[in-house]
Structure 1
Amino acid sequence: MRKVFVSELLGPKREGLFNDVMDMEIENIIRSLSSTPSSSAVNLDDKLLALVFAVVCKVGFGKSYREEPFRGATLKEMLDEAKSMLGGSIGDHFPIFGRCLDKLTGWSDRLEKCFSNLDGYVQMVLDEHLDRGGSEISDHEKDFVHGLIELSSKKNTSSSCLTKDDIKALIMDVLTGGTDTIVVTMVWAMSEIVRNPRVMQKLQKEIRSCIERKPKIHKSDIMHMKYLKMVVKETLRLHPPAPLLIPRECINHCQIGGYDVFPGTRVLINAWGIGRDLIIWGDNTTEFYPERFENEVDFIGEKFDMVPFGGGRRSCPAFNQATTIIELTIGNLLYFFDWEVPVGYGELNMEEKGSLVVHRKSSLLLVPRKHNWQE
C-alpha cells in the first residue's frame, strides 16, 4: 500500500501536474495578497490553507473540494473533527470500562458519525471519477484517484489488485495527512520569521539575490537557497506539526533505557522533546536560530537528532513534497512582500493548542507590504 501511495501520488507520474498546480496556486495567493489594501492585515492561516487544499486536492483528486458542503459540513470541518477523534478517548486507554463511558458521553456516536461522513465524502470523490472515466484524459492530467482506479482494474499476477476499500483508505490518507500539517508548519515558519527581523532580512536578501527580479520563484530556484532550507528545518525542530508523531505499536520485546517494552505496547515518540534536547542542541534550544543547520542535519534518515517526519519504514512518505510546498511558498511570500505585525498588536502571541496536530492558538494576522521595487 505504501509503494502504491508513493508511486501513484508522489512519483514521476504526478510530477508535472504537481509543478503546474503549485505554480498556479502560488500565483493566485500572490495576486490575492497584492490586491490587499495598504496597511490591511490578512489572515495567513486562511490564505495558506486555501493554497494547500488546492494543491493537494487538485493533484490527488483533480479539483479542490474544499468549499463543497457534504451532509451540512465542509471538508475542512470534517477533517478537523477527524483529527479531534484521532486524539483518542478514555476507551482507548482503559478498554475494560472506558468503552462504556464512551457510549455514555456520546463519544462512540460522534466517532461513528465522523467516520460515516468522511467515508461518504471519499465515496463521492471516487464515484465522480468512475462516472467521468479516464479514457479521454491525458496522462499528464490524470490525478491520484485515476491512477488507483487503473490499478484496481489491472490483473496483477504478483499481488491482488486494489479493492474499493483499499482505494478509499489511500484517499483518506491524503486528506487527513497531507493538508493540516503543511499549513501548520508554514504558519509557524512565518510567525518565527516575523518575530525575528534579523532572520527575515537575511532570508529576503538571499531570496532576492538568487532571483534577481524574475516574475516568480520556480522549484529549481529553491535548490540555491541554503538559508531558506535552514529556516524550514529550524521551524520543524521547534514546531513539529505532530509533536508526538502517530502512535506506534511495539512488535517485539525490547529494552529502552533499562525499561522493558512488550509486544502490543502503544508507543508515543516525543518529536517535540527530541528537537529541544539540551545534549543535542545546546542551551539555546528555545531560540529560533536557523544557523545551527549550517552543518547539514539529516531529519529523515538513520540519525535521529530531529524526527518531524518520523523514521524508518513508518516515516512520512511525502516529506519531499511537503518541504517543497513549504519552501516554495515561503520563498515567494518573502520575495514579493515585506511583512509586519499590525499596528497596536504588540508582539505575536505564540501560544499553542491542539493534540495530534499542534497549531497557533490565535490566527496569524500580518500586514503584507509590496517590496519597493514593485511599486
Structure 2
Amino acid sequence: MASLPLHLLLFLPLLAAVSYHWLNRAASRWRGGDARLPPSPWALPVIGHLHHLAGALPHRAMRDLAARHGPLMLLRLGGLPVVVASSADAAREVMRARDLDFATRPVTRMVRLVIPAGAEGIIFAPYGEGWRQIRKICTVELLSARRVQSFRPIREEEAGRLLRAVASAPPPRAVNLSELLSVYAADSSVRAIIGSRFKDRDTFLVMLERGLKLFAKMSLPDLFPSSRLAMLVSRMPGRMQRQRQESVAFMDAIVREHEESRVADDGKEDLLDVLLRIQREGDLQVPLTADNIKSAVGDLFAGGSETAATSLQWTMAELMRTPRVMRKVQDEVWQALAGRPTVTEDDLGDLRYMRLVIKESLRLHPPVPLLLPRECRNTCRVLGFDVPVGTIVFVNAWAIARDPNYWEKPEEFVPERFENSKVDFKGTDFEYLPFGAGRRMCPGMVFGLVHLELALAGLLYHFDWEMPSGMKAADLDMTEEMGVTTRRLHDLRLVPVVRVPVPVE
C-alpha cells in the first residue's frame, strides 16, 4: 500500500499499453452488469485510485476518503479491486453476517514467492479443511489459556531481564525502550515456542523488521497481477526471493537447534514440540508437513513478538504524553504491590486501571490498523452494495476506533472511557477491533496480552519515567511507520528513575 517509487512510475505508460484490454475486461467484470458497487473516488487511467493514497499512511488516507465516499468504498489499486469497510456496521457485515464469504486471505504474487502453495501456516492459510485444522490446533493446543499459563515462568524471567536492563542504565541516561521491549517480546515468545532463546535473536529481529515492511508493500506485480512486464521491471521479486531464502535457512536452523537441545524426559512441551507431536501422531485429515510447521512457527514468532513490543511502546508513549494518566496508573500499581520485591502474574488481577490504559492504547494504536486483508469468496451484498468475488477487503479498525460517532473525544487518551463500558476486544463489539473478529480473528490474543500486562506493570512499579534532557512531553514524536504493523517511526527513548529496586538475578 506504500506509494510507488518514482522510477517505477516512469514505466506506467508502458504498462498502460500492455494492460489496457485486460483492465477494460476486469472493469466490466467488476461492474457485473446490474451490480450496485460501493462508491469510489475519481480514478486515473491504469493506476486507478493509487494517487489518493500517495504521501499518507494507508489507514489515514482511507479514513479521509471514507469520510467523503461512505463507510463501504471501492478502490482500484492498479488492476486490483479493493473494498474498504470504515464503520462498525460495515465491519459487522464483513466479519459476522458475511464472515464465511470473507473467510479466506488474498495471497499476492509477491507473497507467493515467500510462501509456496501448500506451505502456508496460520496467517495465510486459505479457508478450507487445512485452515480449520491449524486453527483448531492453535485454539486447543498451542494458544489455549492452559498452555499460555504454562509459560508463566518464562514470561516472569524475561520480564526480570527487561527490568534489570533498564535499571543498569547509569543515571540520568535515557534508555532505548523500543529496543529493550523488542528484545523482551522476542525472547519471551521464542522461549515459549522453541524452549530456549536462539543464538541469532538479533538477526531474527532485523529479518522480522525487513519482512514486515516487504509484506506491507504493494509492488507493481501485485498491482498488475496479469502483467509480465510488471514482473520484469520490478525489483520486488528479487527481494522477496532473498527473504524466502533467509527465512527458510533461519527456520531450518531453529528446528535443527531445537532437536539437538531438547531433553526427552523433561516433561515440558514448547509450541514446536506440540506441532511435532501432532505431526507424529498423524491423526489428521490434512497431513501436517514440515513446511506447514515451519510456516506456523514463523507466524508465531512474528505475531508473538511484534504486536506485544509495538503495543508496549505506544502505551508508554501515551502515558508520557498524559501525566494525569501516568500518575493514576502508577498510584494503582504502587498501592496494589506495596512492599513486594517485584511484579508477578498473580498481581495483575488487581490492576484494573492499568487494564483500562492498555485498552485505550489499543484503541488509539491497533497493532494492525487495517487488520489483515480478506478476500471475497462469493459475490455478496454488504450494506446494500455488491462485492464481487475476488475483491480484497480491508477493515479499517484504526478509523473505526477514532470515529466520533462511537467515541467521545476520539483523538484523546482517556482510559476512563472504558470504566463503565462493556465494550471489549473479544470480537463482539465492532467499534473496537484491535484483534479483529470472526473466523480470522487473531488466535494469539491471550498470549500477547499477558506479555504486555506483565512488562507494563513492572516498568510502572520499579521506575518513574522522565523525558530526556531538554525535552517536554509535548515534544514526543508520535509519527507512525507503516509495515504490517504500525510502529513508531522513531525509537522511544526515556530516562528511568529507580523507585523500587529491581532484584538481582
- How high is the TM-score relative to the length of structure 2? 0.69
- Say which SS state the counterpart of residue 481 (structure 2) adopts: strand
Equivalent-residue separation in structure 1 for 2:151 and 2:211 (angstroms) = 26
- Out of 256, 269, 275, the position equivalent to 1:148 is 275
- Say which SS state the counterpart of residue 369 (structure 1) adopts: strand
- Out of 26, 39, 42, the position equivalent to 2:172 is 39
Report the CA distance shift for 1:130/1:373 in structure 2 as closer, same or farther (over 3 A).
closer
Deviation (angstroms), 1:16: 5.2
Is 1:64 the counterpart of 2:64 in the alignment? no
Equivalent-residue separation in structure 2 for 1:15 and 1:360 (angstroms) = 28
Deviation (angstroms), 1:128: 2.6
Q: What does the per-residue CA deviation read over 1:51-87, in whole Å, with 9 as the maximum and x for residues that have no partner? A: 0011110000122226357xxxx11121122112211
For residue 285 of structure 1, what is the amino acid of its counterpart?
Answer: P
For residue 300 of structure 2, what is the amino acid of its counterpart?
Answer: V
Report the CA distance shift for 1:261/1:16 in structure 2 as closer, same or farther (over 3 A).
closer
- Out of 350, 354, 357, the position equivalent to 1:224 is 350
Equivalent-residue separation in structure 1 for 2:349 and 2:142 (angstroms) = 22
Corresponding residue number in structure 2 for 1:103? 232
Report the CA distance shift for 1:127/1:35 in structure 2 as closer, same or farther (over 3 A).
closer
Q: 1:17–1:59: 8 Å Cα contact kept in structure 2?
A: no
Q: 1:243–1:272: 8 Å Cα contact kept in structure 2?
A: yes
- Out of 206, 209, 217, the position equivalent to 1:80 is 209
Is 1:280 the counterpart of 2:406 in the alignment? yes
- Say which SS state the counterpart of residue 359 (structure 1) adopts: strand
Equivalent-residue separation in structure 2 for 1:61 and 1:373 (angstroms) = 32
Deviation (angstroms), 1:165: 1.7
For residue 288 of structure 1, what is the amino acid of its counterpart?
Answer: F
Is 1:92 the counterpart of 2:219 in the alignment? no
Of structures 1 and 2, the one scoring higher in RCO (CA 8 A, sep 6+) is 2
Report the CA distance shift for 1:303/1:372 in structure 2 as closer, same or farther (over 3 A).
closer
1:1-375 alignment runs, 5 A limit: 1-11=134-144, 14-15=147-148, 17-65=150-198, 67=200, 74-87=203-216, 88-97=218-227, 99-132=228-261, 135-136=264-265, 138-140=266-268, 142-156=269-283, 159-282=285-408, 284-294=409-419, 295-346=421-472, 347-371=475-499
Alignment RMSD: 1.9
Structure 2 unaligned blocks of 5 or more: 1-133
Q: 1:185–1:326: 8 Å Cα contact kept in structure 2?
A: yes
Equivalent-residue separation in structure 2 for 1:8 and 1:65 (angstroms) = 23
Equivalent-residue separation in structure 2 for 1:301 and 1:243 (angstroms) = 15
- Say which SS state the counterpart of residue 367 (structure 1) adopts: strand
Equivalent-residue separation in structure 2 for 1:218 and 1:316 (angstroms) = 26
Report the CA distance shift for 1:150/1:134 in structure 2 as closer, same or farther (over 3 A).
farther
Deviation (angstroms), 1:6: 3.0
Instruction: Out of 18-27 and 350-359, give the one that drifted further.
Output: 350-359
Deviation (angstroms), 1:132: 4.5
Deviation (angstroms), 1:172: 1.5
Report the CA distance shift for 1:161/1:154 in structure 2 as closer, same or farther (over 3 A).
farther
Equivalent-residue separation in structure 2 for 1:350 and 1:68 (angstroms) = 27
Deviation (angstroms), 1:373: 8.3
Instruction: Out of 14-23 and 357-366, give the one that drifted further.
Output: 14-23
Point out the structure with max Rg over C-alpha.
2
- How high is the TM-score relative to the length of structure 1? 0.92
Q: Percent identity?
A: 34
Report the CA distance shift for 1:365/1:261 in structure 2 as closer, same or farther (over 3 A).
same
